Structure 1
């Protein structure tokens, strides 16, 4: 079964939320590279048009234009270690403007083209974009794993709530070391 790693929104604005997750994400990236498995990154942002009234994007309405990430801004940039990984190997970066990386993007087509049947999700925020994207993958028929120690959120409480909710109804919550162990024989 082909397995892809989805690295969600590892952007500068979220650096403080990913202190503990980043080393594990880099471990997963290295493992997927070494084993020639697909890696896909996402990058959340809003266009100038979306940040100008009237606000048609639901997230911009919720967080306001000042609480939203503008495409091209310093906050929008990928964290340096992640940007290096993308640049070195030319991995795809899927732009998104909502929590679900499958919405309004070609992500599903990219996965299907590579015959992916399982996705491993990590990144930020556990309880928003990671959870929503992982649930969406599950609902599209992909076996879906959420990597608990390779996700981060605004608080430990939110992080744990996201992991608990996903694990209850959608798929396993695994740790970085467990991903490598589980995929070794595949």
Structure 2
């Protein structure tokens, strides 16, 4: 297992000192799971396109969803605030979407909020009064009142998991960092369309906007109850 203090370093931080140990107080720490929704597990009808996306589906089913499920269970046990963000529009025709979700191409998303494909996958179903924010933006802070809720709850640290590493995860992480939250990104509970994009984005955001850590690192960060 690589050392989180030295892994995923970009050119900017190759020679930087190792960061200090991370200490998380459960009372001021939240887990935010981003956009792990049914639509992203739908296999394209086109055979070539389905083959092109197969490595992503494999990572989601074999790694990201199981790890996110374990991460949620761990957070609940430790008493962390568990929160979710999902992409969904309020209108049937999507007229309330931000421009980035109206443009043609991969990021064109029409996901009415009550439709099945916009729902969080069954394995990660929120429980009780766990907060779910609905966004039509990449950043979960820009398009929702998540920022206000985090402040109201007294959150200082945010652990992030979800998809896509180089899009909504990255945008949310940057927004959180700009708002002076301390952010951890769990690399083995995230995915981009390809492993190359995933790992490259982790290098880009690590140490300036967040610390990139693994699932196995998290238990050691929790301060004694």
TM-score by structure 2 length? Answer: 0.73
Could you tell me whether the CA contact under 8 Å between 1:120 and 1:144 is conserved in 2? yes
Match of 2:98 in 1: 57
Match of 1:136 in 2: 175
Rg (Cα) greater in structure:
2
Could you tell me whether the CA contact under 8 Å between 1:10 and 1:123 is conserved in 2? yes
Change (3 A) 1:143 1:56: closer
Change (3 A) 1:144 1:11: same
Could you tell me whether the CA contact under 8 Å between 2:67 and 2:188 is conserved in 1? yes
Residue number among 76, 80, 84 corresponding to 1:33 in the alignment: 76
SS of residue paired to 1:63: coil
Could you tell me whether the CA contact under 8 Å between 1:14 and 1:124 is conserved in 2? no
5+ residue gaps in structure 1?
A: none
Match of 2:120 in 1: 78
5+ residue gaps in structure 2?
A: 1-24, 42-56
Instruction: Tell me the matched-pair count.
Output: 181
TM-score by structure 1 length? Answer: 0.87
Match of 1:44 in 2: 87
Match of 1:121 in 2: 160
SS of residue paired to 2:86: strand
CA distances 1:115-152 after superposition (whole Å, capped 9, x unpaired): 11010110111111111101110110000111100001
CA–CA separation in structure 1 for the residues paired with 2:170 and 2:145: 19
Q: How does 1:149-160 map to 2 (within 5 A)?
A: 149-160=188-199
Match of 2:142 in 1: 103
